[in-house]
Structure 1
Amino acid sequence: MTPPDASHNRWSDLDRPPLNVTALRRGLLRPDTLWTSLEVVESTGSTNTDLAERARAGAAAEGAVLIAEEQTAGRGRLERTWTAPPRSGLFFSVYLEPGDIPPERWGWVPLLAGVAAATGLAKAAGVDMSLKWPNDLLVQVPRTPDPVGPGDGSSGEERKTGGILGEFAGDGIVVGLGINVSLRADELPAPTAGSLALAGAVSTDRETLLRAVLRSLEHWYGVWKAAGGDAAVSGLQAAYAAGCATLDRTVRAELPGGSSLVGDAVAIDGDGRLVLATDDGLRQPVSAGDIVHLRGAAGGLT
């Protein structure tokens, strides 16, 4: 008989081994690095909630990393939930204290995390990554052959494989990342979701991927801080724009309060806002909202 808690057993899925916290600490926690502590928990509601509570209580130092093998109440933007099978992805949060950086520039930190994650994953997983403004990680998943027609000729479709959420806490900001690594097609939470495995990753070893993302995040955070939080001077603004799949497309911005705005996404401005060129000839910066890709180089709607 199968034990009732088999699905939560650390060794219930041999294709998804548990993280080796000792090896991760040995590789990441060094005196000359940003990362100061690293904890792996078996299961929690949300690493962002947990780490933010510690930060508000003064119990988290800059560079703290909290990782969960499973999140039962992971939070995305607009209070959406983020769930996945145990050990099928990377679910973690980090605590950063930008210190002397002007607070009005702190809004770049989640976008910085997006650039860092996309860069690190592209190198470690060998998968083309792109960013959907503001904080979604996209991959190309091969299309399923259509028995009715020849299709549109494209090699794949954009799927969300990760998301980033930042929130102020204590003297800094907690940044949470959720990345689908080994999810199979029948495990996806929505038709628009994907995973690194489905995108053809050359590696789905979570420890390798986590180290790559954290080292990339340390690099970009250091460059940004050295430039006084100036996204243009640090190269962050240009890097984000270069990897942003939202630019050069017609999009609909679903804004807070229920209104919406349709236009061509033409730029990322100095404050990290998405600039839309509307039919009336105006350029409208969007600082918050849900973006729907309507038309663009890849076609379709995402």
Structure 2
Amino acid sequence: MTTPEPYGNRWSDLDRPPLDAAALRRGLIKPDGLWTSVDVVPTTGSTNADLAARAQEGQGGQEGQEGGEGAVLVAEEQTAGRGRLDRTWTAPARSGLFFSVLLKPTGVPVERWGWLPLLAGVATATGLARVVGVDLSLKWPNDLLATVDGEERKVGGILAERAGDGVVLGIGVNVSLRADELPVPGAGSLALAGAKETHRDPLLRAVLRELEEWYGTWCAVGGDPAASRLQETYVAGCATLGRQVRAELPGGRTVTGEALAVDAEGRLVIGTGEGVREPVGAGDVVHLRAAGG
């Protein structure tokens, strides 16, 4: 017999039910599928850090998958979630999707691995939009955007990190956060954007299925962003293109101009006022802002 949680406990919000790890495994792990293990933990510092440590130790997850590709680690709560450049990511327990996956694209040249966070962005935006009925777009290189009260807000982000011979992709999405729970100005959530579904189980399944499909297509053509149609799909959903932007680079240098394209290496091409087309890579950008903003 379980003891009822006290009123006000952060785990007792009936609008935020827990994830069922066993049900997720039954629905996602298939004999010939990508996903080999699905673990759900109540709380952790960072799913990326935990999964990277497992990969280094040769522990992909449950089901005997020793360091294998396809491990999925989900947290009901993250206390030290990170974004790019070690920026923090925090949210109330069970208010969002906080998970990481381990991928080992051994048949893809390493120089094309930089497309993985962009691939994850496409898969996340596509999977979520189908379930929640909200239009989502991508801010280069790794932010997920939705419209809240007529204003474009960040509702999610993606972090890719090397882990041994693989890559850990971390995905965080604000799902049911209320206005008074938002961590910073300019943040949003799927609920605030008018999502018709905020139960995380179908959202997580949709994202992982899209990610499996896109990843399989991309790997099958050696990571070619054109042949896999990843480049054109990302461009079609990228809200950054066509806007005036200012890229802040290490050392205090800035590049200001119109965001013109995403090139074959996944870099943002900025057309400056001097008529120069300058590509900037995600790893080189400290901040990307609207010009003058």
Q: CA deviation at 1:3?
A: 7.9
Looking at structure 2, the residues matched to 96 and 8 of structure 1 have their Cα atoms a distance apart, in angstroms, of: 33
Partner of 2:225: 231
Partner of 1:140: 147
Secondary structure of 1:7's match? coil
Partner of 1:198: 192
Q: Do 2:82 and 2:88's aligned partners in 1 also have CA atoms closer than 8 Å?
A: yes
- Mark the CA change 1:186 to 1:8 in structure 2 (over 3 Å): closer, same or farther: closer
Q: Do 1:57 and 1:170's aligned partners in 2 also have CA atoms closer than 8 Å?
A: no
- Mark the CA change 1:128 to 1:3 in structure 2 (over 3 Å): closer, same or farther: closer
Partner of 1:36: 36
Runs of 4+ in structure 1 displaced over 4 angstroms?
2-6
Q: Give the AA of the match of 1:185.
A: A
Q: What is the CA deviation profile of residues 185-207 of structure 1, one whole-angstrom value per residue up to 9, with x for unaligned ones?
A: 00001111000000000101100
Structure 1 spans left out of the alignment, 5+ residues = 143-155, 296-300
Structure 2 spans left out of the alignment, 5+ residues = 61-67
Q: Do 1:162 and 1:180's aligned partners in 2 also have CA atoms closer than 8 Å?
A: yes
The number of residue pairs the alignment matches comes to 280
Q: CA deviation at 1:256?
A: 2.3
Q: Give the AA of the match of 2:162.
A: F
Q: CA deviation at 1:5?
A: 10
- Mark the CA change 1:6 to 1:170 in structure 2 (over 3 Å): closer, same or farther: farther
Q: CA deviation at 1:58?
A: 1.6
Cα RMSD of the aligned pairs, angstroms, is: 1.5
Q: Give the AA of the match of 1:166.
A: A
TM-score (normalised: structure 2) = 0.93
Alignment of 1:293 onto 2:290: yes
Q: Do 1:48 and 1:174's aligned partners in 2 also have CA atoms closer than 8 Å?
A: yes
Looking at structure 2, the residues matched to 78 and 34 of structure 1 have their Cα atoms a distance apart, in angstroms, of: 29
Q: What is the CA deviation profile of residues 149-172 of structure 1, one whole-angstrom value per residue up to 9, with x for unaligned ones?
A: xxxxxxx11100000000000211
Looking at structure 1, the residues matched to 263 and 42 of structure 2 have their Cα atoms a distance apart, in angstroms, of: 40
**What does 1:1-302 correspond to in 2, within 5 Å?**
7-9=9-11, 12-60=12-60, 61-142=68-149, 156-288=150-282, 289=285, 290-294=287-291, 301=293
Q: Give the AA of the match of 1:95.
A: L
- Mark the CA change 1:5 to 1:51 in structure 2 (over 3 Å): closer, same or farther: farther
Give me the identity figure in percent: 67
Q: Give the AA of the match of 2:84.
A: R
Partner of 1:146: none
Q: Give the AA of the match of 1:131.
A: L
Q: Give the AA of the match of 1:23.
A: A
TM-score (normalised: structure 1) = 0.90
Q: Give the AA of the match of 1:293.
A: A
